[in-house]
Amino acid sequence: MNRITQKVINSNLRLLHIITNLPVCTSCGSQKHHRYFHSMNVKSGTKGNFRIHDTLLHLTTPKRGILGGSLSSSNVGCLVDRWTNVFKNRKISEPKESAEYIIAHVQGSKMFHEIDKSSFLTAAQHKKMEELCLRRLDKEPIQYLLGEWDFCDMTLDVRQPVFIPRPETEELVELIQQYLKTRGLENSALTILEVGCGSGAIAIALLKRFQKATCTSIDRSIDACELTTHNAVKQKVKDRLNVVHLELNKDTVEVHPEFTCTERYQLLVSNPPYIPTKDMTKLQPEIDLFEDPCALHGGLDGLDTIIRTLHIASKVLQDKGFLWLEVDSTHPAKVQRLLQDNKELNLHYVQTYQDFNKLERFCQIQKHLPV
């Protein structure tokens, strides 16, 4: 038996074990209650191999009623109920939402409420659904399964291991937009620097809101830089976005040609790695197993990249330019103290903003050169 055949058999046996232990479906009529499992043909090399057929394993007969029906007789509503129960039993976070997103996705829709719950999946859709559900059982984030995620009225591609954009970061974009509009800068040729681009969410969202703005985004991860470039092309802002693969530290930035001109930017924005070392062990499996730890871990107290960003802001921001940061809820007070203790940076703390969970999440800082 070759390794590929064994892998397929193992996957199907795993799915059979999961599904034959499911509770009764609640979305079908009582006459349609059934168990279902993955239907796939596998070529067997010897008589000793399992052979998986379109309806049942050869060691199971319909008379025994172990499955009580086939996957093809399950409507979409029933499939969601079944997989929701599987995810609940396996302690998968947001089990119902996971099932709904996956089944909507295989039907070519973004939202489950847009789908006819009494409809049925095609054979190809069944196969894709099962593949995605098995990956979800391995704790893979739903965003990676779908390959895309909405952010600020855009749909961005997402790929492992690049950091997945969070809803809190949408709030950061909104705060910046509101502030710039109150200053009458929505139609100005803003120059923006982003530290840590990830998928490109922040930079692209700002460029779409400010049509005359230009942005430089830097990241230590080549995967992040490539994904940001891809999304910028997809969102039609690549002509105003320069993506630089660069490790953020004082020495590399000072010698890089992009930063040889001081006081170049009016706005610096960053959602840096800010999780303290002690909290890295508390991350959800979806985060710990799949997302780039370098996009999460901010050092012992979570301030490593934040401190570097403050030094960069001191160098590259124009006088009266602004720095906006998304940070850990324990950080705003610490950032204020850092600026008070390092007045030579010429950075003045303006305000802390809370996120939708009422946690102190965003720092607004302004550069003021001495008179």
pLDDT tens digits along 228-262: 999 999 999 999 999 999 987 656 666 677 665 66
> What is the pLDDT of the chain when averaged over all its residues?
83
- Pull the structure tokens for residue 275: 């999780």
pLDDT tens for 289-314 read: 999 999 999 999 999 999 999 999 99
CB atoms within 10 A of CB 75: 19
- Asked whether the predicted pLDDT for residue 201 surpasses 60, the reply is yes
pLDDT at 24 over 90: no
What's the pLDDT at 371? 76
- Alpha carbons 369 and 240: distance in angstroms, whole number: 28
> Which pLDDT band holds residue 72 (cuts at 50, 70, 90)?
low
Across the range 94-103, mean pLDDT stands at 96
Q: How confident is the model at residue 18 (pLDDT cuts 50, 70, 90)?
A: low
pLDDT score at 248? 76
Catalytic-residue membership of 272: yes
Instruction: Give the least confident one: 59-68, 124-133, 212-221.
Output: 59-68
| Catalytic residue (one of 112, 151, 163, 210) | 163
pTM above threshold 0.75: yes
Whether residue 29 has pLDDT greater than 90: no
Q: Which of 272, 273, 332, 362 is flagged as catalytic? A: 272
Rounded Cα–Cα distance for residues 244 and 1 (Å) = 47
Is residue 12 annotated as part of the catalytic site, yes or no?
no
For the ranges 3-12, 77-86, 140-149, which has the lowest average pLDDT? Answer: 3-12
Structure tokens belonging to residue 67? 């499955």
Q: Domains in the chain, ordered, with CATH?
A: 3-138 (no CATH), 148-367 (3.40.50.150)
Q: Give 300's DSSP letter.
A: T
For residue 69, pLDDT over 80 is answered with no
Task: For residue 117, give both structure tokens.
Answer: 């719950």
* Whole-number pLDDT of residue 56: 27
Q: Per-residue confidence at 110, pLDDT binned at 50, 70, 90? A: confident
Helices (H), the chain: 3-19, 76-89, 95-106, 123-137, 142-146, 167-182, 201-209, 222-234, 250-255, 277-280, 285-288, 304-316, 331-341
Residue 41 has pLDDT above 70, yes or no: no
Query: What is the rounded average pLDDT of the residues 58-87?
Result: 64
Cα–Cα distance, 197 to 273 (Å, whole number) = 11
Predicted confidence (pLDDT) at residue 13 exceeds the cutoff of 80? no
As a whole number of Å, the end-to-end CA separation of the chain is 78
**Alpha carbon distances (Å) from 219 to 254, 289, 294:** 15, 21, 10
Rounded to whole angstroms, the Cα distance separating 83 from 106 reads 14
- 113 versus 320: the higher-pLDDT residue is 320
Catalytic residue among 271, 273, 332, 362: 271
Residue 52 pLDDT:
23
Answer yes or no: 356 catalytic. Answer: no
For 67-95, what is the mean pLDDT? Answer: 84
Task: Report the candidate in 233, 227, 229, 235 with the shortest Cα–Cα distance to residue 216.
Answer: 229
